[in-house]
Each structure stands twice: as structure tokens, then as C-alpha cells.
Amino acid sequence: METISLYIHIPLCVKKCAYCDFASFAGRMAQRERYVQAVCREIRAQAAFFGPRRVGTVFLGGGTPTLLTGAQVQEIMDTVRACFVLEEDAEITMEGNPGTLTGENLRAYRRAGVNRLSLGVQSLDDDLLAAIGRIHTSAEAAQAVRMAREAGFENLNLDLMLGLPGQTAIQWKETLESAIALAPDHLSCYSLILEEGTPLEARVRAGTCAPLPGEDEMEEMDALTARLTQEAEYAQYEVSNYARPSRACRHNIVYWECLPYLGVGLGAHSDLDGRRFYNPADWEAYLHMAESDDAARLAEGTNTREDRMFERMMMGLRQVRGVDAARFARDFGMEIERVWPKTLAEMTHSGLMAAHEERIFLTPRGMQVMNGVLVRLMEEMDSKPQNGA
């Protein structure tokens, strides 16, 4: 029986953050129970359609999943267990906003089987938190960590953001040092990406907020991240992620390794049985789909063989350990070196890429210019005939 991962999207929010372009909605709490029932119905329908599977990881993402009650999370997890073979050591992650947590709900989430909590802290500077529209304070973030530990969460991630408008390297250093002092098991340190159409992108474009940090400031922040995480004995295993021993996020590794996963909920995407498909990102359209058990509800994604090969490289090179070259050759019938002979030779010669034990990976210097490397890979692929030869 194949082992897959399961993503469950919870699109509820108290308030949309200024930088967020995810499929999430504020002001929908009155429909919370209806949404949970729709998700459970979809889980049953998907399990019936795809047949028996083992599930190795579950990820409740959002949005703000911690806006669900303990009973609602229990019902979702009971449905998962009834429809799939949930592995005994399954990693079950739930994202949460520090401003929405209570000790009672955290204990209920643990009873439901959630064993990994990922808190969207983003910053421990109150002025920066307010500027990006977060609903919590730095003190509430620290309190959330304490409550999570008291509730029995032994695997805890903190999401942090660097490159925020007006943020200095000193502020980033203070946030990262304060976060490390809270002793999380995992740190995700993401650079801000200004997504088109978000309020923050509009403010930056109009010059109505503090300017973004410059290139030199960002390089200093990156250097601080590398030094402070290393000193605190967090191992970098992906371009933005650092973990204590055995605490790397198993669910995210599934994405980076391009392994099979099923997405449930509004706007969720899936890659299963060689099919790419996704659910509607519109609230009413999703509820109609889930509540109707429409067998034709899945919208198909389009991916050519070349798309799949490039994605395998793009996702794999995010990891410190890189891409499994032997698996690439098995899956696509062609060695990586034959697909990108020029780029691999160029990047290896310049010290940006290396190979070891059938894995191709970016060096630390290559990680710093990963986007440029991916552009070169794309350009070489686009210059070839569509059969990939």
C-alpha cells in the first residue's frame, strides 16, 4: 500500500495580513462548522475515489487552523483515521497564530493527535508586527510557546520573516536571538516576498510605508541567520529551514522530494497517481463541490514531462542535500547531466553546484544565488526540443 501525505487547508482568519495572498478569508467564523463538515465529506469522497493509502504526514495549514475548536480538529482527524491507514509515527502538524491560542484548545489538539505545532510568529518586534498586520504581540508569541509546551507539544516550529519594510539587521538579530531563546525545535526563516495585489505590495509600490532593506542589509541578515542558527545547533536542511536533530519537517520534505500528496479543502492542490489537480479557491464554489460529491469536481493541472523534470530540480535544489540523481534517471529515463549539460558544467566549474553519492546539490555559495541558477536551468531547458532530448 502506497504511503502518501495529506494536506488539509483551513482558510479561516481573524484578519488578513498585509503580505498574504493565500486562499484565506476573514469574517467567516459563522460558517466554520459548515466548512469542517465539507472537509470531512471531501476526505471520505477522495478516499473512496483513490482507494486505500497509508498516510505518513498530515498538515493542517491556512489561514489559521487554530481558529478551529478542539472538537472540530478531533472530527477531522477521526475522519482521516477512518478513511486512511494513519501510520503510528505519523507527523501531524497544525499551523497556528499566537493570537488565537488557548491552553484548553492546545490540549484538545494534542488529544486529537496533533504532535507538531507551527506558530506564525514572523517577528518579535511589536512595531514590525503591527506594520504587517499581525494580530499578536511579541509577549503573546512567547506566551504561546509556553502554553504549547505545557500542553505537551514536543515538536514546535516558529515561522520568522526577514526583509520586512523598515527592518534592520539589528532588529532581525534581536528577533532571531529572542526566538532561539524560546528553544523551538525548528525555525523557518523566510525572506519576505511581495506578492502582487497584496496591501503591503501596494504600500511599497506607492512609497507609503518604510522602504524594504537593501541588498547589503539583506546579506547581513542572511549571514546572521547562518551564524546564530549554527551557534544554537540548528542544522540547515533547506534554504529557509533549520532543525534540531530528527526535527526536520517530514511533510515539507515530501513536497521538496516531489513525492505523492493529497490536498483537501478550499484551493488545495494534489499530486497523486501521476495526476495534478486542485480544488476551487472560491468559498462557495468549494462548499458546493464538497457537499455535492461531484465526481468531476477536480480541476486538472497541466504538466509536461519537461515541467516535471524542472520541478524536480527546482524543489530538490532547495534542500541542502539536493536532488536524488538516481531517482531522477529512473523516473524520467534520462540522467540530469543529459538534460542540463551546459548549466551543470558551468555551475560546477564556478563552485555553485556539486555532486556526491548520487545527489546533485548547491554549495553554500550556490544557495545564495539559487534563483539565478534556476533561471539558467530553465533557459537551457527552453532551448531544447520539447521531447527533452
Residue 310, amino acid: F
**Backbone phi and psi for residue 230, each to the nearest 5 degrees, phi listed first:** -65, -45
Predicted local distance difference test score (pLDDT) of residue 183: 97
Provide the percentage of residues in the chain whose pLDDT is more than 70.
Answer: 96
Q: What per-residue confidence (pLDDT) applies to 28?
A: 85
The C-alpha cell that represents 179 in the structure block: 526566538
Read off the pLDDT of residues 135-155 as tens digits, 9 standing for 90 and up: 889 899 999 999 999 999 999
Domain coordinates in residue numbering, the chain: 3-255, 305-382
Burial of 43 (0-12, 13-18, 19+ CB in 10 A): buried
Is the domain covering 305-382 a CATH 1.10.10.920 domain?
A: yes
Q: How many residues does the chain have?
A: 389
Instruction: Choose which CATH entry (3.30.360.10, 1.10.3720.10, 3.20.20.70, 3.40.50.1360) describes domain 3-255.
Output: 3.20.20.70
- pLDDT at residue number 293: 63
SS3 192: coil
Q: What is the pLDDT of residues 226-278, one digit of tens each?
A: 999 999 999 999 999 999 999 999 999 999 999 999 999 999 999 999 888 99
For residue 120, the SS3 value is: strand
Cell of 313: 530540480
**Per-residue pLDDT averaged across 30-45, rounded?**
95
pTM score, two decimals? Answer: 0.92
Evaluate whether 27 touches 12 at the Cβ level (below 8 Å).
no
Q: What would the pLDDT profile of 335-356 be if each residue is shown by its tens digit?
A: 999 999 999 999 999 999 999 9
Same fold, 3-255 and 305-382: no
pLDDT at 227: 96
* Residue 2 in grid coordinates: 502506497
pLDDT at 286: 93
